[in-house]
Structure 1
Amino acid sequence: MLLSMTGYGEAHQTEGGLTVVAEVRAVNSRHFKLSVRAGERYSALEPRIEAVVRETIRRGTVQVSVRVTRLKAAEDYAINVTALSSYRDQLEKLHDRWHVPENVTVESLLMLPGVVDEQTTQPVDADADWPVIEAALRAAVAQVDQMRRDEGQAMEDDLRANCQAIAQELKAIESQAPKVAESYRDRLLERVNKLMAEFNVTVDAADIVREVSLFADRCDISEEVVRLASHLDQFGSIMGSPPDPDGNKSAGRKLEFLTQEMFRETNTIGSKANDVEIARGVIEIKTTIERLREMIQNVE
Structure 2
Amino acid sequence: MVRSMTAFARVERAGAHGTLSWELRSVNHRYLEPHLRLPDAFRELEGAVRDALRQGLSRGKVECTLRFAEENLRGSLQVDRERATQLVAAAEAVAALIERPAPLNPLEVLAWPGVLVADVADPQALNRDALSLFEQALDELKAGRAREGADLARLIDDRLDTIGAEVAALRELVPQMLAAHRHRIVERFRDMQAELDPQRLEQELVLLAQKSDVAEELDRLDTHVGEVRRVLKAGGAAGRRLDFLMQELNREANTLGSKAFDTRSTQAAVNLKVLIEQMREQVQNIE
> TM exceeds 0.5?
yes
Is contact 2:77–2:119 with CA below 8 Å preserved after alignment? Answer: no
CA distance in 2, matches of 1:145, 1:9: 9
Aligned length: 250
Deviation at 1:162, TM superposition (A): 1.0
CA distance in 1, matches of 2:148, 2:177: 43
CA distance in 2, matches of 1:207, 1:120: 96
The amino acid of 1:212's aligned partner reads L
Q: Which residue of 1 aligns with 2:172?
A: 175
Deviation at 1:188, TM superposition (A): 2.4
Distance 1:42 1:188, change over 3 A: same
Deviation at 1:262, TM superposition (A): 0.8
Kindly report which structure 2 residues correspond to 1:129-148, keeping only aligned pairs within 5 A, or say none: 129-148=126-145
Q: Which residue of 2 aligns with 1:55?
A: 55
Deviation at 1:20, TM superposition (A): 2.3
Q: Deviations over 1:223-274 (max 9, x none)?
A: 000001111111111111132xxxxxx3111111111111110111111120
Kindly report which structure 2 residues correspond to 1:30-49, keeping only aligned pairs within 5 A, or say none: 30-49=30-49
Q: Deviations over 1:76-103 (max 9, x none)?
A: 169xxxxxxxxxxxxxxxxxxxxxxxxx
Q: Which residue of 1 aligns with 2:283?
A: 296
Deviation at 1:190, TM superposition (A): 2.7
Percent identity over paired residues:
26
Q: Which residue of 1 aligns with 2:233?
A: 240
Q: Which residue of 1 aligns with 2:203?
A: 210
The amino acid of 1:76's aligned partner reads S
Q: Which residue of 2 aligns with 1:96?
A: none
Q: Deviations over 1:196-225 (max 9, x none)?
A: xx45x462x222222111110000000000
The amino acid of 2:250's aligned partner reads F
What is the CA RMSD across the aligned residues, in angstroms? 2.4
Rg: which structure is higher?
1
Q: Which residue of 1 aligns with 2:23?
A: 23
* Secondary structure of 2:286's aligned partner: coil
CA distance in 2, matches of 1:216, 1:120: 83
Is contact 1:11–1:136 with CA below 8 Å preserved after alignment? Answer: yes
CA distance in 1, matches of 2:33, 2:47: 13
Is contact 1:9–1:24 with CA below 8 Å preserved after alignment? Answer: yes
Kindly report which structure 2 residues correspond to 1:1-300, keeping only aligned pairs within 5 A, or say none: 1-14=1-14, 17=17, 19-69=19-69, 75-76=75-76, 120-122=117-119, 127-195=124-192, 198=193, 201=195, 203=197, 205-243=198-236, 250-300=237-287
Distance 1:120 1:42, change over 3 A: closer
* Secondary structure of 2:12's aligned partner: strand
* Secondary structure of 1:9's aligned partner: strand
* Secondary structure of 1:151's aligned partner: helix
Deviation at 1:126, TM superposition (A): 6.1
CA distance in 1, matches of 2:191, 2:121: 98
Distance 1:125 1:51, change over 3 A: farther
* Secondary structure of 2:24's aligned partner: strand
The amino acid of 1:225's aligned partner reads L
Q: Mark the runs of 5 or more structure 2 residues left unpaired by the alignment.
A: 79-115
